[in-house]
Amino acid sequence: MKIQASEAIVLTTRDYGESDRLVFFHTASCGKIRGIAKGARKSRKRFVNTFEPCSLVELEWREKNSLVWIETCKLVEPFISMRADIQKWALAALFSEVILDMVPEGEHQADLFLLHKEMLGGLEKDKDPWNVLILALLRFQALLGYMPALDGCSVCGRGLKTSLKWYWESCRGNLLCPDHFQRAHGCTALDLGTLALIDHARKIPLDKIWRLRMRQEIKTPVLDSLLDWIRHHTGKEIRSLKVIEQILPSMC
């Protein structure tokens, strides 16, 4: 069996059998994979401090049936500053959960891995972690092909310049004009400035996306829409969000 190697981000770990660990990774070369780390729970020398969730590692593995066999795992970047801030750590965990639940195993998406890696770096450095999370989720939605065109009404084709207020139906991937807005569908009201920012978050080079700043008053409705979209497509609640709600009085 050929050994493969890639940069990877640890998503989560679980006990497996009496002495092993089942580890989920987001890799640069193969997308999401899961593998067995033999003896990881008993050995004090092998895999030391390399399976902490949200760590960047260099991974080597062999293919074995539906799982992979982890040969080596070396820590590259633990994001220490992010881990020291419980809010940033919780947001990183939320994004990892989204990757786990919405990205199919074995699908190579280099842009998605780079987004995940840069998002962690943004949480490490940025003073507004919620802004980082929202931008990352917007880009994630665009990469998966769920973001509407944002150039007019999805129903009638009415152009953006014909109205100052629009309605984003994130679960169905629609942008609606005032004539086709329906409250029952859980739409979020957006002005032209916010729509322009969302469009920039989808199109501009990734290294420039973190310069975008969403107005404080619009962060919560946009984030709520994104979280509703995630729930809609996964069919379940976001587990890490419950932790966030316990440690923070307000989401933004």
Strand order in the sheet with 165-169: 174-176, 165-169, 188-191
Helix 129-143 × helix 110-125 angle, to 10°: 170
Using an 8 Å Cβ cutoff, are 186 and 165 in contact? no
Each of the 252 residues of the chain gets a pLDDT tens digit; together they read 689 999 999 999 999 988 899 999 999 999 999 999 988 887 767 788 899 999 999 999 998 777 899 999 999 999 999 999 999 999 999 999 999 999 999 888 999 999 999 999 999 999 999 999 999 999 999 999 888 888 899 999 999 999 999 999 988 889 999 998 876 567 899 999 999 999 999 999 999 999 999 999 999 999 999 999 999 999 999 999 888 887 765 554
pTM: 0.92
Q: Which domains does the chain have, with CATH numbers?
A: 1-78 (2.40.50.140), 82-252 (1.20.1440.120)
